[in-house]
């Protein structure tokens, strides 16, 4: 099914793993998934949706907008991951009593809350769908690992290039990118928090990308005249997103 068809029938969950493992879901499972949310919520930008350490009895599916998972330090926030529509933001808190980080919006956001009670039913009655949920948390961990590598090996301009390259690909998979870039409510401060850098330095890094003609960042939009160059500069290899390359996701797990 095309993304348009998918979203027409499953407006809340149509982007979940679209372009990846979603293909393995039966129509019945997709229907079931779409009916999991108990509540829809809209938030403005810079709102804390979940507080670190708070107990949680439901998980958050991101329907529209962008979200950052982060931790408050002394003065500055540190960003752990960024999420795009279709991501199951805090699915792991289903298994872990409390969340070890905050969930903050960056821009207007539409969320769907899935009660853990219903997830338990899914695990019990729909093993295939349950395994898909597990896989999505593993994809999250794979992105964490890439982020670690990025922080260990790259300078700030390259880190930002990597963030742009990754977001571009991820948004593309859920139909939210276009030919020469993508829209995002990220600010330079957010980028700095993701890089472990100061806003001042993030700004200079962006200038570097601009001068190299690899990417521009203006008015909530990332544009690049040279996507291949951007990805090469960032040492970006999209395998870890498990899209449809060499590292495609194993069908074995779902062959039960």
Partner DNA sequence: CGAAAATTTGACGACTCTCAAGTCGAGTGG
Partner DNA sequence: CCACTCGACTTGAGAGTCGTCAAATTTTCG
Q: Is 16 in the site for a copy of itself (CB under 8 A)?
A: no
Site map (CB under 8 A) of a copy of itself, residues 36-75, x = contact: -----------------x---------------x-x-x--
**Minimum distance from residue 240 beta carbon to DNA (Å):** 22
**Minimum distance from residue 32 beta carbon to DNA (Å):** 38
The count of residues in the chain is 256
Name the token pair of 161.
Answer: 């290039």
Site map (CB under 7 A) of DNA, residues 226-245, x = contact: --------------------
Q: Is 134 in the site for a copy of itself (CB under 8 A)?
A: yes
**Whole-angstrom distance, CA of residue 172 vs CA of residue 177:** 5
Stretch that binds DNA, among 17-25, 33-41, 112-120, 151-159 (CB under 7 A): 151-159
Q: Is 49 in the site for DNA (CB under 7 A)?
A: no
Contact pick of 24, 102, 136, 156 for DNA (by CB under 7 A): 156
Please state at what angle helix 116-125 crosses helix 127-153, rounded to 10 degrees: 120
**Minimum distance from residue 164 beta carbon to a copy of itself (Å):** 18
Stretch that binds a copy of itself, among 7-15, 119-127, 166-174, 217-225 (CB under 8 A): 119-127
Q: Where are the alpha helices (DSSP H) in the chain?
A: 3-9, 27-34, 116-125, 127-153, 156-173, 188-195, 199-211, 227-233
Q: Is 200 in the site for a copy of itself (CB under 8 A)?
A: no
Name which of 164 and 242 has its Cβ closer to a copy of itself: 242
Pairing of strands 102-105, 181-183: unpaired
Q: Is 74 in the site for DNA (CB under 7 A)?
A: no
Site map (CB under 7 A) of DNA, residues 190-209, x = contact: ------xxxxxx-xxxxx--
**Whole-angstrom distance, CA of residue 248 vs CA of residue 13:** 22
Name which of 133 and 176 has its Cβ closer to a copy of itself: 133
Kindly state the DSSP code that residue 93 receives in the 8-state scheme: G
User: To 5 degrees, how large is the angle CA 19–CA 249–CA 69?
Assistant: 70
Question: What does each C-alpha distance from 172 to 1, 3, 19, 24, 227 come to in angstroms?
Answer: 16, 11, 9, 20, 13
Question: What does each C-alpha distance from 13 to 71, 90, 229 come to in angstroms?
Answer: 27, 15, 34
Name the token pair of 137.
Answer: 């948390």
Does residue 249 sit in helix, strand or coil?
coil
C-alpha torsion sign, points 87, 185, 110, 104: positive
Give the footprint of DNA on this chain (CB under 7 A): 155-157, 187-189, 196-201, 203-207, 218-219
Which residues contact a copy of itself (rule: CB under 8 A)?
53, 69, 71, 73, 76, 78-81, 92, 94-98, 100-101, 116, 120, 123-124, 127, 131, 134-135, 137-142, 144-149, 151-153, 193, 195-196, 239-240, 242, 246-250, 252-253, 256
């Amino acid at each position: 099914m095309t993304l348009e068809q998918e979203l027409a029938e499953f407006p809340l969950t149509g982007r979940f793993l679209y372009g990846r493992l979603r293909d393995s879901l039966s129509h019945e499972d997709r229907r079931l998934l779409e009916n999991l949310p108990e509540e829809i919520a809209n938030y403005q930008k810079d709102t804390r949706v979940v507080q670190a350490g708070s107990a949680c009895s439901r998980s958050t599916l991101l329907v529209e907008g962008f979200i950052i998972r982060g931790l408050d330090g002394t003065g500055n926030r540190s960003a752990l991951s960024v999420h795009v529509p279709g991501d199951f933001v805090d699915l792991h808190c289903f298994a872990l009593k409390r969340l070890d980080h905050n969930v903050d919006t960056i821009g207007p956001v539409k969320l769907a809350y899935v009660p853990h009670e219903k997830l338990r039913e899914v695990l019990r009655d729909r093993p295939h769908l349950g395994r898909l949920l597990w896989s999505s948390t593993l994809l999250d961990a794979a992105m964490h690992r890439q982020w670690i590598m990025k922080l260990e090996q790259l300078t700030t301009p390259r880190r930002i290039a990597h963030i742009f390259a990754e977001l571009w690909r991820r948004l593309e998979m859920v139909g939210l990118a276009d030919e020469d870039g993508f829209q995002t409510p990220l600010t330079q401060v957010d980028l700095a928090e993701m890089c472990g850098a100061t806003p001042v330095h993030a700004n200079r890094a962006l200038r570097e990308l601009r001068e190299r003609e690899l990417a521009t960042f203006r008015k909530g939009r990332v544009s690049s005249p040279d996507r291949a160059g951007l990805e090469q500069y960032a040492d970006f290899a999209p395998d870890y997103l498990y899209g449809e390359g060499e590292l495609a996701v194993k069908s074995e797990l779902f062959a039960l």
